[in-house]
């Protein structure tokens, strides 16, 4: 496993790999897993998927300052390079790219890549500028690595939708591969930010996965709950946890994130749209967690 901090050296490595492959009559398939580090089993699942689908797996680790708001947790975002590298090695990563902020932003960036509409809702509404920071840094990583495929966790469902829209709109020659949410045994969706939670907050936060799972079961068992009722039920359940402070509870078509008919049943809206995202953002103490469930036709893959 090679570790790169310089863009130029990573590019040289990838270029020589591509050239060697062509000389052997093949086309090198590169899979990129972009992360902010402090890796957990969710990231590992992306790396494993990338490993099975590509000749070369690149893991990027970069806590991207421009996707954090002024009052967010950039400074205290957890980091552990040593453990990350051990996990990467264990998952058979070929190249780790861990640039400094100066390497990625040698001058303050004047250029932004921004996706409209999709970013005005859900996390975009409470984290202004967040997704512009994401699409800008992802564009940079795409240009540096030029992967065939890039892997993103479906926990950040809106991010998946936004990045897929960007790829389509800007003609990036890259397949976006969304991967299922990985959870603790108790149901909590894995997140690097879970480390912030006290034992009591962690216990409280289980309401998220529990209530989402319940809603999913209700819909699949054919209950005629309307969109409005489903949202209200979720708000009530989550709100009943004393430590929970709701940021949003949203139900929208996926990946367009367009609004649904509030008075229609969720299952009829599901039939109309093909996929529906139920997404929540809730603060427990100072820690803001997100979770979601993607309702689809039975056994259907996620298409973005």
Binding-site residues sit at 36-43, 67, 153-156, 159, 182, 190-193
Question: Does residue 72 contact residue 127 with C-beta atoms inside 8 Å?
Answer: yes
Rounded CA gap, 8 and 300, in Å?
Answer: 41
Q: Which is closer to a second copy, CB of 75 or CB of 102?
A: 102
Count interface residues toward a second copy (CB under 8 A): 32
Q: Which is closer to a second copy, CB of 93 or CB of 145?
A: 145
Residues making up the annotated binding site for ATP are 36-43, 153-156, 182, 190-193
Rounded CA gap, 40 and 202, in Å?
Answer: 16
Rounded CA gap, 17 and 26, in Å?
Answer: 11
**Residue 257, token pair as written in the block:** 């994130």
Q: Show which residues are catalytic.
A: 43
Best CA proximity match to 62, nearest among 83, 88, 33, 91? 33
Residue list 109-138, contact with a second copy (CB under 8 A): 109-118, 135-136
Q: Are strands 95-97 and 56-61 parallel, antiparallel or unpaired?
A: parallel
Q: Which is closer to a second copy, CB of 24 or CB of 75?
A: 24
Shortest CB 288 distance to a second copy, Å: 26
From candidates 107, 185, 221, 263, binder to a second copy by CB under 8 A: 107
Our finding on whether 23 is near a second copy (CB under 8 A) is yes
**Residue 95, token pair as written in the block:** 């190249």
Residues making up the annotated binding site for (R)-pantoate are 67, 159
Q: Which is closer to a second copy, CB of 109 or CB of 126?
A: 109
Question: SS3 of 298, please?
Answer: coil
Our finding on whether 172 is near a second copy (CB under 8 A) is yes
Rounded to whole angstroms, what are the CA distances from 180 to 123, 183, 293?
A: 19, 10, 10
Under the rule (CB under 8 A), what is the footprint of a second copy?
A: 7, 11, 19, 22-23, 27, 107, 109-118, 135-136, 139-140, 143-144, 146, 165-166, 168-173
């Amino acid at each position: 496993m090679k570790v790169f901090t310089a863009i130029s050296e990573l590019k040289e490595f990838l270029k020589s790999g591509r050239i060697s492959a062509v000389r052997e009559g093949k086309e090198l398939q590169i899979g990129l897993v972009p992360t902010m580090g402090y890796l957990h089993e969710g990231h590992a699942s992306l790396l494993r998927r990338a490993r099975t689908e590509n000749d070369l797996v690149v893991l990027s680790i970069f806590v991207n300052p421009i996707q954090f708001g002024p009052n967010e947790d950039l400074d205290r975002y957890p980091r552990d390079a040593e453990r990350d590298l051990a996990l990467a090695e264990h998952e058979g990563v070929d190249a780790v790219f861990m640039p400094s902020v100066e390497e990625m932003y040698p001058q303050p960036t004047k250029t932004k890549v921004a996706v409209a509409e999709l970013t005005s809702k859900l996390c975009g509404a409470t984290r202004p500028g967040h997704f512009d920071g994401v699409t800008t840094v992802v564009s940079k990583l795409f240009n540096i690595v030029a992967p065939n495929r890039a892997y993103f966790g479906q926990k950040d469902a809106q991010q998946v939708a936004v990045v897929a829209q960007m790829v389509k709109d800007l003609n990036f020659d890259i397949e976006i591969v969304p991967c299922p949410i990985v959870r603790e045994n108790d149901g909590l969706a894995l997140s690097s930010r879970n480390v912030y939670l006290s034992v009591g907050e962690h216990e409280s936060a289980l309401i998220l996965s529990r209530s989402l799972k319940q809603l999913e079961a209700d819909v699949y068992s054919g209950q005629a709950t309307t969109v409005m009722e489903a949202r209200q039920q979720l708000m009530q359940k989550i709100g009943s946890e004393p430590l929970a402070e709701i940021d949003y509870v949203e139900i929208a078509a996926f990946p367009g994130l367009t609004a649904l008919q509030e008075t229609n049943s969720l299952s009829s809206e599901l039939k109309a749209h093909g996929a529906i995202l139920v997404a929540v953002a809730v603060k427990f103490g100072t820690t803001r967690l997100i979770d979601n469930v993607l309702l689809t036709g039975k056994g259907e893959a996620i298409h973005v």
